[in-house]
Amino acid sequence: MSNSVEINGLNKSYGKLSVLKDVNLNVPEGAIYGLIGPNGAGKTTLIKALVGALKYDSGKISVLNLDPIKNKWDLRRQIGYMPQTPSLYGDLTAFQNISFFGKAHGIKNLEEETNKILAFTELSDRKNDLVRNFSGGMQKRVSLACTLIHKPKIIFLDEPTAAVDPQLKQRTWALFKKLSESGVTIFVSTHLMDEAMLCDKVTILRQGEVLLVDTPHNILVKGKTKITVNRNGTKTELISGSSASALASELKKFGLDKEIQDITFTQDNIENIILDIVDKKK
Ligand SMILES: Nc1ncnc2c1ncn2[C@@H]1O[C@H](COP(=O)(O)OP(=O)(O)OP(=O)(O)O)[C@@H](O)[C@H]1O
Ligand SMILES: [Mg+2]
């Protein structure tokens, strides 16, 4: 499988402040790739560099085999970028906002395509409402629709679910899954650790440094699991690693004792594990 994005030795400073420090990462084609990091980690800066909206100091970036600065316009036709703050026209309707972006991309059958995107993003019933009357979460959804109108091969989404209620967040992630299944690569930043679990691969960024690149499963395994064994009403607690082999070796101590009534496992959640990784590297 080829990579949609390759970054080698990327550096960016603002004056004396080093914001991206020797960033290296590869995004496989069709993946949902999560960029996780606290406020100020450099997520927006990195995304801006990837979409050609920011000049970086050194390193090499390739997006769909193009250089975001040298091939900016070529790249713009093939990618979608949803900025952290939606840039929409408040006194236009959802339909008009999406068609505006479609027109800029020279989309044929614009009305039909706009209606399709409205349906895909579950906005059809609000299509004729002015965007300024939409809630923050709904505006994010319109912004996502604008990002998709020209059927990009890769989309860069900067905190698309920040300040979005849990129900809308779940529906938004279901859309990402559908897009990814249709072959679109998704590069999504978030400071919400639980969203890491929904990605195929995750990069953890802190103060411009990549701390870890891994699958959510492998990150979970770095945590601990509390095992509680209930033998005839007497509970024994032990702390184990979370891998299957670590759990098996702890349980061996109990054999297949018929007095054991139940065993419960409480696994560290991904939020704690990631915060631990971020803290340890301080
Ligand atoms: N134009 C700029 N001039 C100077 N410093 C900047 C500029 N843009 C960003 N920074 C600094 O770069 C660092 C990274 O900022 P960035 O916006 O990329 O972080 P982020 O991870 O997107 O944070 P958030 O979660 O708050 O959106 C911060 O310390 C920020 O203050
Ligand atoms: Mg940001």
Q: Which pLDDT band holds residue 74 (cuts at 50, 70, 90)?
A: very high
Q: Has residue 257 got a pLDDT over 80?
A: no
Q: Is the pLDDT reported for residue 276 higher than 70?
A: yes
Indicate if ligand 1 lies below 6 Å from the C-beta of 207: no
Residue whose token pair is 């960029």:
35
| Distance from the alpha carbon of residue 34 to the mean position of ligand 2, in angstroms | 13
Q: Is the pTM of this model over 0.85?
A: yes
The highest-confidence range among 22-31, 191-200, 241-250, by mean pLDDT, is 22-31
What type of residue sits at position 184?
V
Give the model's confidence band at 19: pLDDT under 50 very low, under 70 low, under 90 confident, else very high.
very high
Tell me if 44 CB under 6 Å of ligand 1. yes
For ligand 2, the distance from its centroid to the CA atom of residue 165, given in whole angstroms, is 19
- Model pLDDT, residue 253: 82
Q: Does 40 sit in the ligand 1 pocket, CB within 6 Å?
A: yes
The answer regarding whether domain 3-219 maps to CATH 3.40.50.300 reads: yes
Minimal-distance CA residue to ligand 1 atom 29: 40
Residue 39 CA: which ligand is closest?
1
Instruction: Report residue 1's pLDDT band, with 50, 70 and 90 as the boundaries.
Output: low
The total number of residues shown for the chain amounts to 282
Model confidence at 198: pLDDT above 80: yes
Dist. CA 96–CA 195, nearest whole Å: 31
User: 21: Cβ below 6 Å to ligand 1?
Assistant: no
Given this model, what pLDDT does residue 282 score? 59
Closest CA to 47 of 30, 61, 58, 59: 61
Nearest C-alpha to atom 6 of ligand 1 is from which residue? 14
In this prediction, residue 47 has a pLDDT band, given cuts at 50, 70 and 90, of: very high
Q: Quote the pLDDT of residue 112.
A: 96
Q: Where are the domains of the chain?
A: 3-219, 223-280
Is the CB of 43 within 6 Å of ligand 1?
yes
Nearest protein Cα to ligand 1, atom 2: 14
Q: Residue 181 Cα, ligand 2 centroid: separation in angstroms?
A: 27
> Which range (6-15, 89-98, 113-122, 234-243) has the least confidence?
234-243
pLDDT at residue number 244: 87
Is the pLDDT score of 110 beyond 80? Answer: yes
pLDDT of 261 reads 86
Condensed to tens digits (0 to 9), the pLDDT of residues 136-150 reads 889 999 999 999 999
Which token pair is 233? 């009403």
